[in-house]
Amino acid sequence: MKSIYYLTTFILFSIVLFLAFSVAWLFAYPFDRHRIVSHEISRFWSKWIYRLNPWWRVRVSGMENIEKGKSYIVVSNHQAMLDIPLLYVLPFNFKWVSKEEVFHIPIFGWVLAMHDDIAIKRGGSAGAKKMLDKSNRMLKNGVSVIIFPEGTRTKTGKIGRFHQGAFLLARKSKADILPVMIDGTFDAIKDWKVKTPHSFTVKIMEAVPYDPELTIEEISNLMQQKIGAAFEQLHR
C-alpha cells in the first residue's frame, strides 16, 4: 500500500512540476543564460521526490567542504536513477553529463535538454571532445559539472571501475574535483516496490585541487579510492 501511495503521488507530482517547469523555462529562456531558474525549480522538485515519502530520510554531511562561488567537477558513484534528485542537495548551479540517449526519455530527458545539460555520444572521440569542450566552458563561467565516472549504474550495489572522462576534464579545465559518495538509492525501489522505512546518505568530501604532477590514471585511482573508502566505512 505504501508503494502504491508513493509511486502514484510521485507520478502526479512530477507531471504537475514538469508543466510548471516548462512554463518557467519558456519565460526565463531569453535572459537566463545558465538556466538558473530551471535549476532552482529542479532543486525544489528533487527535494520533494524524497519528502513525499514520509518514511524516507536523507542524511547529508560535508557541506563545509564546499567553497561558495566556486565551480567544481563533481564526481560521484552511481547506484540508481534516484541519484539524480538526491544530488540536488548540492547548493550550487551545475550541469549533468549524461549519455545522449537519456535526453530522449519523456519528461526527465526533456528536462535535461531544457537545462542545457551536457550530452555525450558513445563510441567516438568527436563526442568526447564535444563534451569536454562544453563542460570546460561551463566551468569557466562558474557553473559546476557532475559526472558519474563509473559510466553507468551499478548492478551489484558496489562501486565499479572509474572511467577517465571526468579526469580528462580536470586536466583540461584545471578545476578542483569534488568527490561525493552516495548510498541508499540502489535498493530504494525494486520491481515497483518502495522500501520503507529507508535512509539515503550523501557524503561530500574535501575538494582535490588540480595537480599537474598527477597523471589522469592517478587522479582516477585517487577518486575511486576516496569514494570507495567512504562507502566501505559506511557499510562496516
Residue 236 confidence class, pLDDT cut points 50, 70, 90: confident
Helix axis angle for 2-28 and 108-115, nearest 10°, is 30
Instruction: Read off the pLDDT of residues 212-229 as tens digits, 9 standing for 90 and up.
Output: 899 999 999 999 999 999
Mean pLDDT computed over 143-155: 92
Q: Which domains does the chain have, with CATH numbers?
A: 55-234 (3.40.1130.10)
CB atoms within 10 A of CB 70: 13
d(CA 78, CA 67): 24
Cβ-contact 117, 96 below 8 angstroms? yes
What pLDDT does 15 receive?
Answer: 94
pTM of the model: 0.93
pLDDT band at 190, cuts 50/70/90? confident
Name which residue leads in pLDDT, 31 or 121: 31
The pLDDT of residue 123 is 65
For 106, phi then psi, to 5°, come to -55, 140
Query: Does residue 124 surpass a pLDDT of 70?
Result: no
pLDDT band at 192 (very low <50, low <70, confident <90, very high): confident
Q: Is 159 exposed, middle or buried (0-12, 13-18, 19+ CB in 10 A)?
A: buried
Within 10 Å of residue 140's Cβ, how many Cβ atoms? 11
Q: Report the percentage of the chain scoring pLDDT > 90.
A: 77
User: DSSP of the chain, one letter per residue?
Assistant: -HHHHHHHHHHHHHHHHHHHHHHHHHHHTTT-TT-HHHHHHHHHHHHHHHHTSTTEEEEEE-GGGPPTT---EEEE---STTHHHHGGGS-S-EEEEEEGGGGGSTTHHHHHHHHT-EEE-SS-HHHHHHHHHHHHHHHHTT-EEEE-TTSS--SSSS--PPPSHHHHHHHHH-PPEEEEEEESSTTTEETTEE-SSEEEEEEEPPPB---TTS-HHHHHHHHHHHHHHHHHHHT-
> Is residue 198 within 8 Å of 184, Cβ to Cβ?
yes
- What number is the average pLDDT over the span 120-145? 86
The residue among 136, 135, 143, 140 whose CA lies nearest residue 35 is 143
Tens digits of per-residue pLDDT, 5-40?
A: 899 999 999 999 999 999 999 999 999 989 999 999
What average pLDDT score do residues 51-62 get? 95
* 99 pLDDT above the threshold of 90: no
